[in-house]
Amino acid sequence: MAKALYGHVGSAPDRRLLDEVTNLRAKVRALEIEVARLRAENDRFAAAAESELLRLPEPAMA
């Protein structure tokens, strides 16, 4: 009964499933690299905006 529920222990893994898992892992790696790139770009933009705000002259009192 347990073999029927879990599959035969000695069976070879399905090749299509292994290919799909390999492809999904590659996509996840690519997305993680893209996230890291976008975070670095966002940090650069935030630093540039902050330095731009620091360079603005103070408003003159009227």
**pLDDT reported for residue 21:** 94
Residue that has been written with the tokens 């650069």 in this structure: 44
% of the chain exceeding 90 in pLDDT: 50
Q: Which residue has the higher pLDDT, 60 or 26?
A: 26
The mean pLDDT of 36-59, rounded to a whole number, is: 83
pLDDT digits (tens, 9 = 90+) for 26-45: 999 999 999 999 999 999 99
Q: Which residue has the higher pLDDT, 28 or 9?
A: 28
- Sequence spans of domains, the chain: 14-54
Residues 6+ apart with CB under 8 A from 38: none
